[in-house]
Chain A
Amino acid sequence: MKKRTMFFRMITASLIRRRSRMFIALLAIAVGATILSGLTTIYYDVPRQMGEQFRNYGANMIFMASALNEEGLTSDILEQGLTQIPDSKIVGCAPYRYETVTINNQPVIVAGTDLQGVSKTSPYWFVDGEWPSSNGQILIGKQIAETLSCGIGDTLLMTYSEEAIENPEQPDEVPDRGLNADAVNIEFTITGILDTGGNEESYIFMSLEDISELTGEGPYDVCELSVSASSEELTGYVDNITSRDLGITPRLVKRVTQSETTVLTKLQSLVFLVTIVVLMLMMICVATTMMAVVTERRKEIGLRKALGASDRSIVVEFMGEGMMLGAVGGLIGSFMGFAFAQAVSVNVFNSTITLRPILVPITIVASVIVTGIACLIPVRRTTEVNPALVLKGE
């Protein structure tokens, strides 16, 4: 008991009395530990954070009515399908209904959709003007806007009738739309022009309520989903939904999922390798600093030996000192590392990360081991030396 108290007193006294030197060693360990915990946190967080960035590419899964499903993709069926995917994984969901209507007797494709969902599934849509905010407002593709030569603020009169759609090539047979009893005429205001560089530019987009008013109720044609998950998870969801026979055929948008997996794997292995290289070098840096600090105390070791201390007791004392430094440095470092990872996350990805408690003990243990090994080598070498020689100074 007494021995142990003495041991701790020796360690703490030596740490406190040689304050500046110990501070240097502690700093080195703390920086090493900061890098260890910071980079590991970032490494684990990169797939999630980058995955969110990849959702910019738009929907990676689509739901369609399966061949046997006669009702089509109704909102009930869609709802059931969505319950198979965890809410937290769904970034956005946009069901679409496509109908053909006529404007000035010209056929035009109109898509009814949940416009808020679209802004999440297709963040790359560039809208000149504003997104529609109330009923009676529409978003018009750039190409079709040029053909119809209309701009923001203009109104378009759309006509929907079963007959006109069935015989679109002879619109002249219905000279006066008013005479057609089935036809629905609604005037819409253009609030924005859509620029995507893709097919969307030749469609007109409106809310689901508006399209129901214009063309009557109907099932969705397709539902786009943006799911933040790895390709294995996505395939899992697809298999699950297919096997449950909900009347939905889920499909993965290969271009998005496959490419995302490729790029994400590369990015993660980049961060991984960088982490390994940085860690390796930092560990060696910590070790050389500790070696320098211990080598300096050869005189003290020689004196102890001359006074009759055993090699073992000297090694144990120095190791105890080093490990204590390692533990304190590791503790400081693990929190500084978290602060660094948090700063990276906020600056780069605009989101926060949660502390991984498991990293704190791992960091501490790693720094204790590194400092322990770093101390052991010079202490060992010193104890082998003849005390008389050491004390003499050479």
Chain B
Amino acid sequence: MFLRMVKGALTRQKGKMVMIAFTILLGASLATAMLNIMFDVGDKVNQELKAYGANIIVKPKDNSVLEDLYEVDGEDEIQSSYLQENEIGKIKTIFWTYSIVDFAPFLETTADVNGTAVTVTGSWFNHHLSLPSGEELDAGIVGLRSWWDIEDGQWLDEKVNPDGIMVGTTLAQTLGIRAGDRITLTTDNASKNLLVVGIYNSGADDDDQMITNLDIVQELANTGDLISSIEVSALTSPDDELAQKAARDPMSLSVSEYEVWYCTAYVSSICYQIQEVIPDAVASPVRQVADSEGAIMEKTQLLMILITILSLLGSALGISNLVTASVMERSNEIGLLKAIGAKDGAVSSLVLTEILITAVIGGIAGYFVGYGFAQIIGKSVFDSSIEMKPIVIPIVSVLIILVTLAGSIPAIRMLLKMKPAEVLHGR
């Protein structure tokens, strides 16, 4: 009998129930969309901030300041220590390997071009790596120097132009080089005839330099498989107190703190892990990038949390408002039920069941609509889909049920207090 009454109410009052379900759907979709975006916005913004380039630099341990000093004096660069090129892949074997977005090795030398001494940097552009773990990836400076403007020609493609070179805009003007020209680089060790693939504008000192494939520079500088530094771009969590404490000295942490620190993608723990796999190296955060990323991500996340709270409040109020209104409306029916002898408990469970069934239907539909909204926002803003976080489902369900109950219970109690005769009489 109870089920039949519930079913009857749901089917006969279709219009009204659809409206309640619709409002709950809207509220649930809003909550779902906002929560999904809120949980994912950190990762997404972090990806965007990769435009600022590497946030970790790996250098050989004993690399003294000598290089910088002698460079100023116009002497030949004397770099006392190097890293091995075959150690680069090890960066992708650390605990936080999925946080490593991109990396590239660097080696600099001075070469002679038509009687002018220029600095030539060797690096990877889109170097294809096959890791021992079976993973395949392309790494190099195309991703790490996203702000470079290619004024003439295009980015160097290692597979297409193994003998290609890219020239900075200032240097290109001085030497009168354009894309498509061939230039000869000469050092004491070797001489290379290279094709200028592109002219870049970086808006910094690099504009006076050239950049080409790593092995060409290694031959010019006669260094074998050595490199002087590696730039790494990693997705990191903003620093907190623990990270600051660890950055001073990882050994000062207690065992449990150490675990937490090691297993969190702080820039300091990623640096530490890189040093573990490349023993002769010092990995240090590039503070200009690492610190600013932390600050911006923290602010964005906080902003999204507050907007989410406001929308959750808004949808909660909207739902409970409508539920209250629709329960109040049924005063006649409730009065009649009471008049023919229904107990308070029976009446309230009847009304509550009806409303909750409607809420569940609306909530489920709302979850999927909200997920759709989140995807639309993700696709149009970040060009990638928003990850579906399972935690959102319980949050939204609890929210919807609580809000529905909060909206209906006071109204039901108010109706129950009324005398059936008064209610039926109409006032």
Contact = CB atoms under 8 A, between A and B. Distances in A.
B65 A197 contact: no
Interface stretch (A73-81, A106-114, A307-315): A106-114
B310 A35 contact: yes
B201 A254 contact: yes
A34 B37 CA distance: 21
B29 A274 contact: no
A103 B181 CA distance: 46
Contact of B69 (A109, A196, A271, A289): A109
Counting chain A CB atoms within 10 Å of each CB, the highest count among B72, B289, B307 belongs to: B307
Contacts of B287: 124-126, 195-198
A286 interface: yes
A253 interface: yes
A40 to B, nearest CB: 12
Given A31-B314, A255-B53, A347-B302, A266 B291 contact: no
Contacts of A108: 69
Interface stretch (B96-104, B249-257, B373-381, B395-403): B373-381
Interface stretch (A21-29, A82-90, A155-163, A354-362): A21-29
A289 B204 CA distance: 59
Nearest to B22: A288
B292 A288 contact: no
Contacts of B307: 39, 42, 271, 274, 278, 344
Interface in B25-70: 26-27, 29-30, 33-34, 37, 41, 45, 48-49, 51-53, 57, 64-66, 68-69
A180 interface: no
A24 B7 CA distance: 28
A348 B324 CA distance: 35
Interface string A46-80: 10011001101110000000000000000000000
B146 interface: yes
A293 interface: yes
Given A197-B290, A292-B326, A348-B306, A281 B315 contact: yes
A91 to B, nearest CB: 13
A394 B284 CA distance: 77
A267 B45 contact: yes
Contacts of B75: 169
A223 interface: no
Interface in A242-265: 251-259, 262-263
B140 interface: no
B60 to A, nearest CB: 12
A282 interface: yes
Nearest to B300: A267
B73 A53 contact: no
Contacts of A292: 19, 322, 325-326, 329
A334 to B, nearest CB: 15
Interface residues of A, number: 80
Counting chain A CB atoms within 10 Å of each CB, the highest count among B66, B286, B290, B291 belongs to: B291
A286 B318 contact: yes
Given A39-B307, A277-B373, A288 B291 contact: no
A49 B321 CA distance: 35
A101 to B, nearest CB: 11
Contacts of B315: 281-282, 285
Contact of B19 (A21, A124, A291): A291
A100 B319 CA distance: 71
Contacts of A25: 321
Given A39-B307, A285-B26, A288-B23, A277 B69 contact: no
Given A197-B285, A340-B310, A285 B27 contact: yes
On chain B, which size bracket covers the interface? 35 or more
B306 A263 contact: no
B295 A56 contact: yes
Given A202-B68, A274-B34, A288-B19, A254 B149 contact: yes
Contacts of A215: none
B317 A198 contact: no
Contacts of A32: 314, 318
B296 interface: yes
B26 A263 contact: no
B288 A198 contact: yes
A108 B66 CA distance: 10
Nearest to B332: A393
Contacts of A144: 65
Interface string B200-220: 011110000000000000000
Contacts of A126: 287, 291
B72 A252 contact: no
Contacts of B291: 56, 123-124, 126
Interface in A86-144: 100, 106-109, 122-126, 141, 143-144
Contact of A289 (B51, B146, B299, B321): B321
A38 interface: yes
A258 B302 CA distance: 25
A388 interface: no
The 4 closest A-B pairs by CB, nearest first: A254-B203, A285-B318, A56-B292, A259-B51
Interface of B: 19, 22-23, 26-27, 29-30, 33-34, 37, 41, 45, 48-49, 51-53, 57, 64-66, 68-69, 72-73, 75, 146-149, 201-204, 284-292, 295-296, 299-300, 302-304, 306-307, 310-311, 313-315, 317-319, 321-322, 324-326, 328-329, 373, 376-377, 380-382
